[in-house]
């Protein structure tokens, strides 16, 4: 099976100057650095749901995915090993059970590795203005997205990327070393 790279927000695509060439299930798709990159057109229940993620899973024939999320409170690309969802979003709410999956999924073991940092996801609306120093690492959107990928049977590898990283080749080189 294949691995794709999921950008947790359109802002990540813009940070690396990636533009979508195609679209499927409310997601933009681009091929760069020999990887398929995809991201939702917007952070909404319409594009981020068990139905759309199952369709993406089948379209790309994947069982693993690299999730890249924007982070603050860090100047380095880092592995995400856990999250606390303070975004107010849960894209499974009202959408389970889906296919043969449970109504209440186990979200205790989502990420591939236990090495890494725990992030606090605050959501796209709060991310730009978030500047509290007491949170270890603030992320934009990975928590509700990782739970959803896990729910549809795709194992995520979480990567936090700060705003000072602008070269896609630099990001991909670091991701390969973290795999």
- Residue 34 has a pLDDT of 85
CB 57 within 8 A of CB 38: no
The separation between CA 153 and the C-alpha centre of its own chain, rounded to angstroms, equals: 15
Neighbours of 153 (CB within 10 A): 13
What are the φ/ψ torsions at residue 99 (nearest 5 degrees)? 50, -125
**How confident is the chain (179 residues) per 10-residue block, as mean pLDDT?**
89 94 92 91 92 94 95 88 93 88 85 85 89 77 96 95 91 85
- Residue 100 has a pLDDT of 87
- Residue 135 has a pLDDT of 62
- Residue 30 has a pLDDT of 94
CA pair distance 8, 59, nearest whole angstrom: 18
Cis peptide preceding 97, ω within 30 of 0: yes
- Residue 105 has a pLDDT of 85
Tokens 């380095």 label which residue? 76
DSSP state of 176: H
- The CATH number of the structural domain formed by 2-178 is 3.40.50.1580
């Amino acid at each position: 099976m294949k691995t794709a790279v999921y950008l947790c927000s359109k802002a990540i695509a813009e940070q690396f100057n990636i533009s979508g060439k195609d679209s499927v299930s409310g997601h933009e798709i681009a091929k760069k650095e020999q990887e398929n990159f995809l991201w939702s057109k917007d952070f909404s229940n319409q594009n981020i749901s068990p139905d759309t993620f199952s369709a993406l899973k089948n379209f790309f024939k994947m069982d693993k995915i690299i999730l890249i999320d924007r982070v603050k409170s860090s100047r380095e690309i880092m592995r995400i090993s856990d999250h606390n969802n303070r975004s107010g979003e849960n894209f499974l709410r009202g959408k389970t059970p889906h296919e043969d999956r449970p109504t209440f999924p186990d979200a205790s073991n989502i990420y591939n590795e236990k090495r890494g940092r725990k992030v606090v996801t605050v959501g796209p609306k709060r991310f730009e203005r978030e500047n509290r120093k007491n949170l270890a690492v603030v992320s934009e959107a990975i928590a509700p997205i990782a739970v959803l990928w896990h729910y549809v049977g795709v194992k995520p590898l979480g990567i936090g990327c700060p705003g000072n990283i602008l070269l896609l080749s630099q990001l991909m080189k670091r991701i390969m070393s973290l795999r």
